[in-house]
Amino acid sequence: MWDLLVVGSANADLVVGVERRPAAGETVLGSDLAVHPGGKGANQAVAAARLGARTALLARVGDDAHGRLLLDAQRAAGVDVSGVLTGGGPTGVAMITVDASGDNGIVVSPGANARLSPSDINAAEPLLATARVVSAQLEIPLETVAEVVRRLPPAGRFVLNASPPAPLPPEVLAACDPLVVNEHEARAVLSGARDPVPASVEHQARALLALGPRSVVITLGGRGALVAEADGESAHVPAVPVRAVDTTGAGDAFAAALAWRLGAGDPLPAAAAAACRVGALAVTREGAQPSFPTATEAGL
């Protein structure tokens, strides 16, 4: 039995530090290029495994140096990679600029991630059947995420990190427990479903619930997170104050910790509080996967 099966993307992160990100048509000088294993799916798998969760990854990488880098990083973290497929395109790449304040801008070339297909999910049904929690993101095709929902085991729980945001079909929304979005993503999901979008994050959470998810988590950066359940009130979970060095991967650390603690039986507010601690520690270190803390470091 896996504590968490992550179905998602695996990218090589190509990172350059800059004093400020360029405006349109502008060139700025940056630091030396650093190459790190990344991708929302691979990041969340590593983050969960580092916390102590029994974790497996279902993804697709290219038969290239970046793919080997990603597989090596997963194995080193203790993630089971028997569900990682090879070929169909080059390994996905994320081009990341990190400014002096620690904020980042990201452009993703999906590569092999775009070739992770519904038939791949069908073939991996035995893997899904042994997972307590299945999580996904939207750096893989939406029809593949929908197939994950169709193949969920009866006792399984589905956590969707709707990033990057996209219009979600009713059957996917109905399976989310929770739907995890940041403030930008919350507005993007709602803008395709209603007009106008509510101004307050509390009202946005209730509006998201009205679309069908069983629960919703809106991450608020340095202000923590808001959790809302269909059969209960919303609650604000405070942030852990830290000095941010690099925010790359912080959302992935949060989502992984949230899914892990939900699978362990924590109620949603407690799981979100643990996830806030993990996400806060991640921003105090450079990089994505290298920044993820252990449970001991996070005090969990």
Tell me whether residue 221 is annotated as binding: yes
Q: Among all residues, which ones are annotated catalytic?
A: 252
CATH (domain of 210): 3.40.1190.20
Does residue 297 sit within a domain? no
Domain count, the chain: 1
Listed in sequence order, the residues at least 6 apart from 97 whose beta carbon sits closer than 8 Å to its beta carbon are 15, 16, 17, 18, 21, 30, 104, 105
pLDDT digits (tens, 9 = 90+) for 162-189: 999 999 999 999 999 999 999 999 999 9
Task: Tell me the pTM.
Answer: 0.91
Tell me whether residue 195 is annotated as binding: no
The pLDDT value recorded for residue 248 is 77
Tell me what the mean pLDDT of segment 25-42 comes to: 93
Does residue 298 sit within a domain? no
Preceding amide of 196 cis, omega within 30? yes
Q: Which domain holds residue 67?
A: 2-291
Does residue 70 sit within a domain? yes
Question: What residues form DSSP beta bridges with 107?
Answer: 95
Question: What residues form DSSP beta bridges with 159?
Answer: 135
Tell me whether residue 287 is annotated as binding: yes
The rounded distance, in Å, linking the Cα atoms of 291 and 298 is 12
Tell me whether residue 25 is annotated as binding: no
pLDDT digits (tens, 9 = 90+) for 65-123: 999 999 999 999 999 999 999 999 999 998 988 898 878 788 889 999 999 999 999 99
Q: Are 272 and 227 in contact (CB under 8 A)?
A: yes
Tell me whether residue 251 is annotated as binding: yes
Backbone angles phi, psi at 94, to 5 degrees: -115, 125
Q: β-strand 225-229 against 215-219: which pairing, if any? A: antiparallel
Does residue 296 sit within a domain? no
Does residue 71 sit within a domain? yes
Tell me whether residue 285 is annotated as binding: yes
